[in-house]
Structure 1
Amino acid sequence: MTGGGRSRWSRRFVALSAAFLVVWQLGAFVGVPRRAEVTLALFGFVFHVVFGMAYLLVPSYFGTVLATDRAPAAHLAFSVSGTVLLAVAASGGVAAVGGIPPYVELVGAGLWCAGVIVFLAALLWSIRDNLLGRQTGTTAERAEHEWVDRYANRFVTVSFAYLGVGSYELLARASALPGLTDGYAPRITHLLAAGFVALLVFALGVRLAPRFLGVPAPKSLTAVVLPAGSIGPGLVAVGLSDGPAFVAGAVASATAFVGFAAVYLVVYLRSDKRRVGSGIVLLGVLCGVLGVSVGLSFALGPLFGLPSLSAVGIAAHRELNLLGFFGLTVVGFVVQFFPPTAGRFRGANERTVRLSAGALAGGLGLSVVGRFVGNPAVVTTGDGVAVVGAVGYWYLLSRLLVEIGARRTG
């Protein structure tokens, strides 16, 4: 597959991700059911950008190229249609009027899994001669990155395993297939979000951040982050929402999130190449620390006689991770790959990027605070501010990607 072909499909996945971010935030603002909101956030916004960037980065990070130019196209069709159907099926408000046949969720899950099969087959076939990641594609000029690059590669295939298991569980939940778990939706969400996305962000992030900021990632911290991030999600999914496995998984996940934040903070503070995107990533990883801290309180609280899961705490945990960690981290890395300042359109500047990201972060903060103080007006205001940020990000990114496509075909 040519470099231009890989870049073109990555741009399409990223552009659709930005559109899903707008739809997700509009849905949160008008009050769609929680399951529909999580579906739009995770399957629509987060997964599409992760898939797109994985097609671009994973083969090169394993010292090879994507083996086929057909997989991304088929995958995109499956994943978009599957996400839309899963979101419709999760929309209790629509289902209440009898408008959704019972097979919609099954079809959506089947399409989603078909896309995952294409994705995993394409990437695993591409790296089949180097599954342990000994070849890293690291140039001689960056020899100081080699150890971290090789170590991080080992955990990419672990994240792929989580994607496969989580997607199978999604299909089993909607069908007569035997599940590995009881089909409890939060278990599946943890397998997919923490097991696949977060672990892949950690594994690719310890390579990406040093490239953007020009400072090697600390080896000792990286050596802790990735193993903890690989075992935590599985234990949480199995043990949710009590018991030794849940506690151990929560501790391991918290260790991974805090460790990754420490890795990024060390690299960020030592760098003289800080840009607006790197600052947004820093804000995202700090939100991840807050989100996992709330989750850790669910596991450790009962050990000290404190209340366990609460609706407010669950909502804060969800929002800090989905919009905070995943959302801001994704936006930060994307605007470094596709800097709006490279565009020639109105608003193509760092100030607009800061305003958009600031609106997302500010809206998140208002929403979380509003939930804790029990003020729905503040929550609604926060959701509205986040919509503005999402639209701003979508505008900047979509305009730039259109220009890039026109330049390369002109």
Structure 2
Amino acid sequence: MTGAGRSRWSRRFIILSAAFLVVWRVGALVGIPRRAEVALALFGFVFHIVFGMAYLLVPSYFGTILATDRVPAIHLALSLVGTVLLAVEALLDVPPLVESLGAFLWFAGVAAFLAALLWSIRTPLLESETGTASHRADHRRVDRHANRVIPISFAYLTVGSYELLARVSPLLGLTDGYLPRVTHLLAAGFVVLLVFSLGVRLAPRFLGVPAPVIPTVVVLVAGSLGPGLIAYGLGGGPTLAAGAIAETVAFVGFAAVYLSIYRRSERRRVGSGAILVGAISGVSGITIGLTMAAGPLVGVHPFALGTITTHLHLNLLGFLGLVIVGFAVQFFPPTAGRFRGADERTARVVIGALAVGLVLSVGGHTLAVPTVVTLGNGVSLVGALGYGYVLTRLLVEIGSRRAG
């Protein structure tokens, strides 16, 4: 696949992700059901940018290139329609066939994605190739460990997507089809683990400081174990608590690793600050999850903040949202654009609006003040609109330059 073709489809996935972020925040503002929010946030916003960046980064991290120029186009169509159908089913009273078709299209897109990437990296994966340049030899140990968990994240994606389809079809499921179990396999197992593995490679390159090896290994190991234990143990009990502990170790470790890199760097930019805030938000979110999972076993009831709603907000909009936006702003810096608003000041306003909106929303839910929740959702919508505008204009402009 040519570099231009690979970049073109990555850009389209990323632009679509930004559009889903706006739709999600509009939905949160008007008050759509939680299932619809999860569909728009996870399957729409988060997954589409992760898919786009994975096509761009994963082969290069194994020292190779994507082997096909057709699969990303097919995958984009399947995932877009599948996500829309899943969101529609959560929003409206529609026939069950709508959800079944959405799950089938989603699964088909994932199958194409996995086949393309695994075929592309099949040889370097067995040879432990990292694609690390010779002048970055001090990054190679972390890069090798990070690459080893990528197939684990793919396994979670496979199982989670199959379970999503099995729960609405005659296929025999591996679990009981409980939707939170499925979304944990997909969100924590695939997305978060992939963010950890790609993040510990990207952050040192953006900030110019190597990641500490042992803490990074702890993050990757704990992040590999936690999602499976949580998904299996949902409903309560020691397995759920063990998974929550492992995932907490991973989130706290990732925040610590990133903070270590951030503090030693002389290349701090607005995007790097967003990642730090996102990592701290993730620690807060997973701490709430830990109190819900392990608290009952020791006779401790979750504190006021310990609700599913705040847990979701801190993880989806806080950790995944701000970390993804932070890396996107660094990977595609606004200053590379030639349009009004293509500067770091706009990026600061966008990230600030998303962060302030998150704080207001979480605070409003905690204090049971709907007005504050609405204000927070409105502020985060402003941030989403700004992010969508800047990123879309920039990516379209980049595409035009390369086409010319």
Distance 1:101 1:311, change over 3 A: farther
Matches within 5 A, 1:367-406: 367-406=361-400
- Alignment match, 1:88: 88
- Alignment match, 1:269: 263
- Alignment match, 2:71: 71
Which deviations, in whole Å up to 9, do the C-alpha atoms of 1:14-70 show, x marking residues without a partner?
000000000000001001111011000000000000000000000000111100000
Which deviations, in whole Å up to 9, do the C-alpha atoms of 1:99-156 show, x marking residues without a partner?
x122000000000000000000000000111224611111110000010001110000
Among 315, 318, 332, the alignment partner of 1:338 is 332
Alpha-carbon offset, residue 220 of structure 1: 1.0
CA distance, structure 2, for counterparts of residue 267 and residue 307 of structure 1: 36
Which deviations, in whole Å up to 9, do the C-alpha atoms of 1:268-319 show, x marking residues without a partner?
0000011111111111111100000100111221133222598961101000
Alpha-carbon offset, residue 339 of structure 1: 0.7
CA distance, structure 2, for counterparts of residue 273 and residue 279 of structure 1: 11
- Structure 2: gaps of 5 or more residues: none
Q: Does 1:166 align with 2:155?
A: no
- Alignment match, 1:8: 8
- Alignment match, 1:305: 299
Matches within 5 A, 1:9-408: 9-91=9-91, 94-95=92-93, 100-132=94-126, 134-307=128-301, 313-408=307-402
- Structure 1: gaps of 5 or more residues: none
Q: Percent identity?
A: 69
Alignment TM-score, normalising by the size of structure 2: 0.98
CA distance, structure 2, for counterparts of residue 30 and residue 76 of structure 1: 28
Letter of the 1:364 partner, please give it. Answer: L
Q: How many residues align?
A: 404
RMSD: 1.2
CA distance, structure 1, for counterparts of residue 348 and residue 181 of structure 2: 35
Alpha-carbon offset, residue 406 of structure 1: 1.0
Letter of the 1:377 partner, please give it. Answer: T
8 Å CA contact 1:132–1:154 kept in 2: the answer is no
Alpha-carbon offset, residue 251 of structure 1: 0.2
CA distance, structure 2, for counterparts of residue 271 and residue 150 of structure 1: 22
Which deviations, in whole Å up to 9, do the C-alpha atoms of 1:195-232 show, x marking residues without a partner?
00000000111100000000000001011000100010
Distance 1:13 1:249, change over 3 A: same
CA distance, structure 2, for counterparts of residue 153 and residue 169 of structure 1: 25
Which deviations, in whole Å up to 9, do the C-alpha atoms of 1:59-84 show, x marking residues without a partner?
00011110000010000000000000
CA distance, structure 1, for counterparts of residue 193 and residue 124 of structure 2: 19
CA distance, structure 1, for counterparts of residue 193 and residue 368 of structure 2: 33
